[in-house]
Amino acid sequence: MFEIKTYPEFSWSLSRHKTLTHCARQYAHQYYTAHNGWLRQASETSKHAYRLKNITNLEMYFGSAVHALIDNIIENYLDTGYIPSENELTEKIRADLNQGFIEAIKYGDKWFQKPNKSTMLHELYYGNTKKLPADKIAKIKERLQVTMPHFLKSKTLNEFAYNDKVEFLEAEKFRILHIGNVKVYVVLDLLYRDLNRDKWVIVDWKTGKQTAEDPYQLALYALYLLQSYPIPSYTDIVIRNEYLVEGTSIEHQLDPVALEKVQELIGSSVEWMNEYVEDVPSNQPLPLESFPKREDQRACHFCNFYELCFPS
């Protein structure tokens, strides 16, 4: 039964950690102010924050469309053995992008009432315009032209789809692992077992550039596998990033040091997050004023919560 809680249950994720690292005030709005903002009886501030939390931008929307399509391709392939052509896939993403743009332009009222059921783009909301920036359109067009060709030629697809010694396990599902008393959320893009090599393969599809956090994300996935599956050793796990814009595939070496480092990161990060909590068991946050804004505010214009921090 769904229970309405005054404060959100605490859990850790790498995205939560990155948000706090970027800006404590953004962190407060994302994980506390917006809580219960979907309820009719919520305060106007919570409703406002919840709407803003559900804004996306063009790059993120593109990435979500690609991930959803790849998940659909894999699911259909397992049922039919069919993989669509490059042109079909590219046109499907193009159609999804156009649909999102139309929703943001024409159905803003729907987004205002149910923000998680419709699309609003940051570029349109804060640009106060019905046109997307030309430079962003050019960037997405470039990515659109290369992403699906690179996916079809990727090491993962060729290993997964053209090998009868592969066992599919899971894809695009929220999963939970426990590090001590902390609940940690992970979402595996794809997990399968290569029976030829007797390896468990974790794949993360990327539609952006390589970042320093990528190995941490994959190490988290490996911890989940070691907790959830009968895997004899971490050496039996292959962790791989597929960078679909660049067309590169990178496998990271998993070792005890990497697994220890990601657990240390979680521990220190949770301690840091608890500094902003008045009562740890209930996850009651400190007053909003205790969450400072960024000193360098040049990045604030790109934040979903800009108008909460700098009301006009």
For residues 162 and 145, state if they share a domain: no
- CA-wise closest residue to 226 among 197, 260, 196, 249: 260
Cβ distance 182 to 264 under 8 Å? no
For residues 162 and 249, state if they share a domain: yes
Q: 286 in a domain, yes or no?
A: no
Per DSSP, the three-state class of 170 is: strand
Say what the pLDDT of residue 214 is: 83
Separation between Cα atoms, residue 190 and residue 74, nearest integer Å:
9
For residues 258 and 210, state if they share a domain: yes
- Give the number of residues written for the chain: 312
Q: 36 in a domain, yes or no?
A: no
Cβ distance 255 to 165 under 8 Å? no
Q: Which residues contact 90 (CB under 8 A, 6 or more apart)?
A: 144, 145, 147, 148
Q: Name the pairing type of β-strands 182-188 and 199-206.
A: unpaired
For residues 213 and 233, state if they share a domain: yes
Name the residue with tokens 């604030």: 300
Say what the pLDDT of residue 156 is: 95
For residues 71 and 131, state if they share a domain: yes
For residues 138 and 188, state if they share a domain: no
Domain termination site, one of 121, 152, 183: 152
Question: For the chain, how many structural domains are there in total?
Answer: 2
Q: 53 in a domain, yes or no?
A: no
For residues 172 and 260, state if they share a domain: yes
Say what the pLDDT of residue 7 is: 96
For residues 180 and 244, state if they share a domain: yes
Q: What is the mean pLDDT of each run of 10 residues along the chain (312 residues)?
A: 85 96 98 96 96 97 97 94 96 96 92 94 91 94 96 94 88 87 92 92 92 84 92 92 95 86 94 98 97 93 96 84
> What burial class does residue 261 get, using C-beta atoms within 10 Å of its C-beta: 0-12 exposed, 13-18 middle, 19+ buried?
middle
The pTM assigned to this predicted structure is 0.93
For residues 132 and 208, state if they share a domain: no
Q: 95 in a domain, yes or no?
A: yes
Domain termination site, one of 152, 172, 200: 152
Q: 206 in a domain, yes or no?
A: yes
Say what the pLDDT of residue 244 is: 97
For residues 166 and 252, state if they share a domain: yes
Q: 186 in a domain, yes or no?
A: yes
User: Which tokens hold the place of 207?
Assistant: 């539609």
Q: 282 in a domain, yes or no?
A: no
For residues 173 and 255, state if they share a domain: yes
- CA-wise closest residue to 175 among 165, 185, 162: 185
Separation between Cα atoms, residue 130 and residue 123, nearest integer Å:
9
| Domain that residue 99 falls in | 58-152
Per DSSP, the three-state class of 243 is: strand
Other CB atoms closer than 10 Å to residue 142's CB: what's the count? 11
User: Which tokens hold the place of 14?
Assistant: 């790498």
Say what the pLDDT of residue 173 is: 82
- CA-wise closest residue to 221 among 197, 181, 264, 191: 191
Domain termination site, one of 133, 152, 171: 152
For residues 165 and 259, state if they share a domain: yes
Q: 309 in a domain, yes or no?
A: no
